[in-house]
A and B are shown apart, each in its own frame.
Chain A
């Protein structure tokens, strides 16, 4: 039984600004931008222009968001931020696999426990949604997040989930047009699919959502976590936002834009949230560390804000669906 749409707020201890520095290091941004530059110079890569990937609004009707390296637009109809030209998915996947192979091993101790808390949050998200909506999720297929988070399967196993998980990491074969996912869904018909952080990175997000819906029984659930263009960070800092790494953020959907997209594709949204924990501390770090970064009201606010005020703001952003990441639960 699925009731009306809900908008949960995720309340947890919030980190201070020291936690932000290591999240998207400057070096990481440079590496990703170099990879993008190499793709732009690679004549084997096919690029195609596209309208807003959420609502289909023509690029000409949208506003410029960034012209660095490649053009990004902010849709004037739905507020989604998107790359106006995207490379073909095959090259995107190849580049990503290369990037993942170059990454250092996952850190130990405190950073690892932070990551594990993130995984536990995902698992609890599924458990509570399952219970509230009375839909047992005995089998779950996770698509590609385990490539970014290789310790996820071990955490799932260690925590002792009673459900059967299948992890489908990014691979160099079989993923054309998301065929690997299609084949698994057709063979296994899982009760739920988890797409965590994937919608940001792909050239044709609607195509992925079509594959999922076409190959799942009606009434299945799809859990999606992605960046959110309505977040205060993007609203204030625009393309200067520390979270904006072009190659990792080909699509930064707005809540309204993504809602329109999934409805168009035949899904029913049963939960929408923006559970970000870092918007406030990212902005505080930005305004305290970047000289001359004055924005009326906000720069003074963040420079003088103490931890309590940042916490209150972060919760307000969540309650207002204005944090920089969002989660959707969709019913097929």
Chain B
């Protein structure tokens, strides 16, 4: 992720990357690379990009803020809501600084267009949302820190499914009512979930269903929004791996019969997006916030807290899984 952010900063042109921190040095690097995170401050940066395992995020973010640095941090925002609150406290101590989290899916062109369509009122009241986001595990799944609950806080839900939850929260307000099934089916020797199913309802009656999967052998991103006047779907999401397909938005407005009832299968418009501009737009928003004082609209600490609370609600709504998870985080699994 650090390299992706680095490229986006170069492309933006408003950043000068003065140093990087990694687990190993690189003699061919064009910028100084250190292995001790504290050494980056020797270069007196204005901003810190935090691309570290989840358990390290709160300390890195708080340290940077307290040293007077603006911070852009990857998602998830730590391992749990307590981590987010800790970072919010540091943010409150440094109100002149910018803290932004990298929920970049909000910046995808198809998602932005879907948001415009909903916000314009053209689709009418939102009824329900369905989201499926899944991938086929990953290399060294069992060894990856992402699947060590002490470091990550959870499995596929907190790692990838959190993006879909963030989008749900963008389209509708919080979901206090949650039912879920969280399970481990394929990587049974790994103490995190490889599938999470959640059915949620907010106080306005909007229902959202999520399936977050690490056993989605064919990578998939699908977000559907059904409203009174029609529907929107986004299939595929442009990503660094390129494995989720072209980003395609379909939108349709209902055709009504003479009695005012919707006629099935209305004409839909399909719009395809082939260039991933999300990284660039996200970097631009951060730049504008730091340099020009523009507000952060996507990836605020409050949004980070909201989505982390929803993650926790989903884990907690499956009593059997909640018990296992608590034990796993405590190292008793």
A and B interact: yes
A114 on the interface (CB 8 Å rule)? no
Cβ 8 A contact of B267, one of A124, A130, A159: A124
Is there contact, CB below 8 Å, between B117 and A8? no
B255 on the interface (CB 8 Å rule)? yes
Is there contact, CB below 8 Å, between A9 and B269? yes
**Which stretch in A10-18, A37-45, A213-221 binds the other chain?**
A10-18
A27 on the interface (CB 8 Å rule)? no
State how many residues of chain B have any CB contact under 8 Å with chain A: 21
Cβ 8 A contact of A10, one of B121, B123, B269: B269
A131 on the interface (CB 8 Å rule)? yes
A97-137, CB < 8 A from B: 117, 120-121, 124, 127-128, 130-134
Across-interface contacts of A133 in B (CB, < 8 A): 116
Is there contact, CB below 8 Å, between A130 and B122? yes
Of A3, A7, A9, A13, the most chain B CB neighbours within 10 A belong to A9
Instruction: Give the CA-CA distance A86 to B23 in the complex, in Å.
Output: 74
A41 → B minimal CB distance (Å): 44
Instruction: Give the CA-CA distance A159 to B267 in the complex, in Å.
Output: 16
Is there contact, CB below 8 Å, between A12 and B268? yes
A15 → B minimal CB distance (Å): 13
Of A7, A13, A132, A133, the most chain B CB neighbours within 10 A belong to A132
Instruction: Give the CA-CA distance A11 to B251 in the complex, in Å.
Output: 10
Across-interface contacts of A132 in B (CB, < 8 A): 113, 116-117
State the main secondary structure of chain A at its contact with B. Answer: helix
Whether A9 contacts B120 in the complex (CB less than 8 A), given A120-B255, A124-B253, A127-B253, comes out as: no
Cβ 8 A contact of A8, one of B256, B265, B271: B271
B253-273, CB < 8 A from A: 253, 255-256, 265-272
B89-135, CB < 8 A from A: 109, 113, 116-117, 120-123
A29 on the interface (CB 8 Å rule)? no
Is there contact, CB below 8 Å, between A128 and B270? no
Is there contact, CB below 8 Å, between B122 and A6? no
A329 → B minimal CB distance (Å): 12
Across-interface contacts of B113 in A (CB, < 8 A): 3, 132
B109, closest chain A residue (CB): A3
Instruction: Give the CA-CA distance A177 to B122 in the complex, in Å.
Output: 37
Whether A131 contacts B120 in the complex (CB less than 8 A), given A120-B255, A319-B272, comes out as: yes
Cβ 8 A contact of B255, one of A117, A127, A134, A319: A117
Across-interface contacts of A10 in B (CB, < 8 A): 267-270
Is there contact, CB below 8 Å, between B269 and A128? yes
B88 → A minimal CB distance (Å): 31
Whether A134 contacts B270 in the complex (CB less than 8 A), given A13-B265, A127-B253, comes out as: no
Is there contact, CB below 8 Å, between B270 and A8? yes
Instruction: Give the CA-CA distance A134 to B119 in the complex, in Å.
Output: 9
Is there contact, CB below 8 Å, between B272 and A131? no
A37-79, CB < 8 A from B: none
Whether A127 contacts B270 in the complex (CB less than 8 A), given A11-B250, A117-B255, A132-B113, comes out as: no
Instruction: Give the CA-CA distance A330 to B85 in the complex, in Å.
Output: 48
A277, closest chain B residue (CB): B267
A123, closest chain B residue (CB): B253
Instruction: Give the CA-CA distance A9 to B255 in the complex, in Å.
Output: 18
Of A6, A13, A128, the most chain B CB neighbours within 10 A belong to A128
Instruction: Give the CA-CA distance A319 to B272 in the complex, in Å.
Output: 9
A221 → B minimal CB distance (Å): 14
Is there contact, CB below 8 Å, between A11 and B270? yes
Is there contact, CB below 8 Å, between B267 and A131? no
Is there contact, CB below 8 Å, between B122 and A131? yes
Is there contact, CB below 8 Å, between A131 and B270? no
Instruction: Give the CA-CA distance A13 to B255 in the complex, in Å.
Output: 13
Cβ 8 A contact of A128, one of B122, B256, B265, B272: B122
Instruction: Give the CA-CA distance A124 to B109 in the complex, in Å.
Output: 21
Across-interface contacts of A11 in B (CB, < 8 A): 250, 267-270
Is there contact, CB below 8 Å, between A8 and B120? no
Across-interface contacts of B122 in A (CB, < 8 A): 127-128, 130-131
Instruction: Give the CA-CA distance A239 to B48 in the complex, in Å.
Output: 65
Is there contact, CB below 8 Å, between A134 and B116? yes
Cβ 8 A contact of B120, one of A124, A134, A319: A134
Instruction: Give the CA-CA distance A7 to B274 in the complex, in Å.
Output: 12
B258 → A minimal CB distance (Å): 9
Instruction: Give the CA-CA distance A109 to B113 in the complex, in Å.
Output: 37
Instruction: Give the CA-CA distance A203 to B271 in the complex, in Å.
Output: 34
Across-interface contacts of B268 in A (CB, < 8 A): 10-12
Across-interface contacts of B256 in A (CB, < 8 A): 159
Of A7, A13, A127, A319, the most chain B CB neighbours within 10 A belong to A127
Cβ 8 A contact of A131, one of B117, B255, B265, B271: B117
Q: Which A residues lie at the B interface, using CB under 8 A?
A: 3, 6-13, 117, 120-121, 124, 127-128, 130-134, 159, 319
Q: Can you report 27 A-B residue pairs in the complex whose CB atoms are below 8 A from each other?
A: A3-B113, A6-B271, A7-B271, A8-B269, A8-B271, A9-B272, A10-B268, A10-B269, A10-B270, A11-B267, A11-B269, A11-B270, A12-B265, A120-B255, A127-B122, A127-B253, A128-B251, A130-B120, A130-B122, A131-B116, A132-B113, A132-B116, A132-B117, A133-B116, A134-B120, A159-B256, A319-B272
Instruction: Using A134-B120, A319-B270 as known contacts, list a sample of 14 further A-B pairs with CB atoms less than 8 Å apart, ordered by residue number in A.
Output: A9-B270, A9-B271, A9-B272, A11-B250, A11-B267, A11-B268, A11-B270, A120-B267, A124-B267, A127-B253, A128-B117, A130-B120, A130-B122, A133-B116
Q: Which B residues lie at the A interface, using CB under 8 A?
A: 109, 113, 116-117, 120-123, 250-251, 253, 255-256, 265-272
